[in-house]
Amino acid sequence: MRLWVVPILALLATGCGKEEMTPAQRAAQDAKDVAAVKAASTPPPVPVNPQAILYPDIEKAGIYGASCSFAPGKELGAVAIAMDDHGYMKIDDKMMIFAADKGSGKLPGEAWGRYDGREYNFMIDVAKDEGEKTGGETVNYPARMVLKNSRDQIVYEANGTAQCGA
């Protein structure tokens, strides 16, 4: 009969001596709890594998003029084309059009550093000081491209070459 008295007294003792949280402490704890729930409920990013934009895609979309085309690694096929007003990518066999963020940094060839779309946004960072002239009106630059989803999660990133010019 006395065996049940000891656990009950131990439970009662654990409640003694604890101070209530101040409103500031409670607010901080609530903010921490909300952040933990949000982090746990945000799904991980789904990787994207952009496709090379081929000449038939360029013709069909009417992509002509000064631009910067990004090709990953040592590949020749551009996966992004950045122009003065729009950017283009091919994802899941669909050509996607992006609006130029004219508040972002200017790239060579009338292009901008960032382009925004409904599902994704992409950024191209060009090493402007390391360009190598490759044709009458084109220059190749070492570059980096990052593609993010609507939750601002990186779904694709690559180092490669940006060919800029007319």
Segment 35-82, tens digit of pLDDT: 888 777 789 999 999 999 999 999 999 999 999 999 999 998 999 999
- Give pLDDT, residue 4: 55
Res. 161: pLDDT tops 80:
yes
Work out the average pLDDT over 103-122: 94
Res. 3: pLDDT tops 90:
no
Q: What is the largest CA-CA distance in the chain?
A: 98
All structural domains of the chain with their residue ranges: 2-41, 55-165
Higher pLDDT, 126 or 14: 126
C-beta of residue 61 within 8 angstroms of C-beta of residue 95: yes
Res. 15: pLDDT tops 80:
no
Higher pLDDT, 115 or 20: 115
pLDDT tens digits, 149-159: 999 999 999 99
Q: How confident is the model at residue 166 (pLDDT cuts 50, 70, 90)?
A: confident
Length of the chain: 166
SS3 content of the chain, % helix, strand, coil (to 5): 25, 35, 35
First to last CA, the chain: 93
The DSSP result for 82-130, as a single string, is E-SSEEEEEETTEEEEEEE-TTSPBPSTT-BSEEE-SSEEEEEEE-GGG
